[in-house]
Amino acid sequence: MLAPTPYFADRGCHVRIYEEARALMALGHDVRIATYHLGHDMPGIPTVRTVRVPWYSKLAAGPSWHKPYLDILLFFTALKEARSFRPHLIHAHLHEGGFIGAFLAKILHLPLLFDCQGSLTGELTDHGFVRKDSLLFRLFARLEGWINRAADAIVTSSGAGRDDLVRRWGIPAEKATALIDGVDTAVFRPYPRDEVRRRLRISPDVPLVVFLGVLNRYQGIDLILSAAVILKAHGSPVRFLVMGFPEEGYRQKARELGVDDMVTFTGRIDYAKAPVYLSAGDLAVSPKISPTEANGKLFNYMACGLPTIVFDTPVNREILGDSGVYARFGDAGDLANRVTELAANAKRREELSRQVRERAEREHSWQARGMALEELYRTVLRRRGGAGRR
């Protein structure tokens, strides 16, 4: 597996990489993850890293001009490992991984599966890295198209992402498969709600809205703070527990907006502790402002039995179905209204809590995702005349 990211850094993309590898290993596959020098190893999964680059320490999501030389280092690290490990298949995460993987696949004469977690150009514009009408955008669009075509097969983290590949990028429908994220419901489950509240000095009596993930505009943190301003103006008793990083700028913004008394920032939460922290909440929010990119945190919310408010997008409906609460896309006012309504309706929260937990157990287990991925591997290997490894 190619992971061109500071794996593992307790965020959504990394959770997908980790859980896919863990599910495959449980089925008997031998997996190696090649990644940057940053991050920490997860137990039980062999991980190889590039040489240390002392001046690069960015763990948060988003593009960077440092990535090109980091990816060159990753290419040589992965090539060295592959020559000794001798894999049957390369599984490349993200578009950078797909780019590196395309060259590795040619050198090693191996099939390439590209794990696409959203549009490259979509991410660059959402993060404000390039303007949509710029020359740089057009260059990245050409690169994105080349990466998509270079893979033997593509898995996407949402049905909407698969549809985008087929309609917008002209990828043959049989080449792209939606494999949405999942959750380990034995690990992510409801815990006693008051333990974390006592630790963070949050009253057990206030309605608490939780968020877990990377903190940036793209994930909707600005909209959460805007909703908090509206709620405070209406005298709402609601409080927010915002878990993730980098939080420093948002602490300052909350103070400037006058809602720092309504929002508790924890900083980074270890993945293993996430279920306990999530269980402190009465409901959860994920106002991500992307219509096609995956939203993996929803699976963890659901498994912890949290009624969940999201924007009305195909991705969110694919995951939550009728068990979700939907606000108008990008509308902080409507988000605040949905929070107000759900916080005031204990019976509705109890009903949704049961529904989301049951849906997580029934439809979103990582075991089922691993089996689907294994079958896709076998299909790719048969096309290339290889043999699967168990």
| Residues in CB range of 161: below 8 A, 6 or more apart | 116, 117, 118, 119, 178, 292, 293, 294, 315
Q: How far is 39 from 7, CA to CA, in rounded Å?
A: 5
Q: What is the pLDDT of residues 60-113, one digit of tens each?
A: 777 788 899 999 999 999 999 999 999 999 999 999 999 999 999 999 999 999
**What was the pLDDT predicted at 58?**
85
Please report which confidence band the pLDDT of residue 197 belongs to, taking 50, 70 and 90 as the band edges.
very high
Q: What is the pLDDT of residues 30-48, one digit of tens each?
A: 999 999 999 999 999 999 9
Please report which confidence band the pLDDT of residue 389 belongs to, taking 50, 70 and 90 as the band edges.
very low
Residues 280/203, Cβ–Cβ less than 8 Å: no
Please report which confidence band the pLDDT of residue 222 belongs to, taking 50, 70 and 90 as the band edges.
very high
Q: Assess whether pLDDT exceeds 60 at residue 358.
A: yes
For residue 364, which of 184, 154, 178 has the smallest C-alpha distance?
Answer: 184
Q: Per the structure block, which two tokens stand in for 14?
A: 């990394």
**What was the pLDDT predicted at 390?**
39
Q: What is the pLDDT of residues 127-155, one digit of tens each?
A: 678 888 899 889 999 999 999 999 999 99
**15-26 mean pLDDT:** 96
**What was the pLDDT predicted at 387?**
47
Please report which confidence band the pLDDT of residue 267 belongs to, taking 50, 70 and 90 as the band edges.
very high
Q: Assess whether pLDDT exceeds 50 at residue 365.
A: yes
**What was the pLDDT predicted at 293?**
78
**248-253 mean pLDDT:** 94
Q: How far is 219 from 295, CA to CA, in rounded Å?
A: 9
**308-322 mean pLDDT:** 96
**314-324 mean pLDDT:** 95
**16-29 mean pLDDT:** 96
**What was the pLDDT predicted at 133?**
83
Tell me the residue ranges of DSSP E strands in the chain: 2-3, 33-35, 47-49, 90-93, 112-116, 153-156, 176-178, 208-212, 239-243, 263-267, 283-286, 308-311, 325-327
Average pLDDT of the chain is 94
Compare 344 and 131 and report the one with higher pLDDT: 344
**169-188 mean pLDDT:** 95
Q: Assess whether pLDDT exceeds 70 at residue 388.
A: no
Query: Which region among 130-144, 206-220, 276-290, 302-316 has the lowest average model confidence (pLDDT)?
Result: 130-144
**177-194 mean pLDDT:** 94
Please report which confidence band the pLDDT of residue 292 belongs to, taking 50, 70 and 90 as the band edges.
confident
Please report which confidence band the pLDDT of residue 260 belongs to, taking 50, 70 and 90 as the band edges.
very high
Q: How far is 25 from 119, CA to CA, in rounded Å?
A: 28
**318-329 mean pLDDT:** 97
Residues 155/113, Cβ–Cβ less than 8 Å: yes
Please report which confidence band the pLDDT of residue 350 belongs to, taking 50, 70 and 90 as the band edges.
very high
Q: Kind of pairing, strands 283-286 and 208-212? A: parallel
Cis omega (within 30 of 0) on the bond before 8?
yes
Q: Assess whether pLDDT exceeds 90 at residue 273.
A: yes
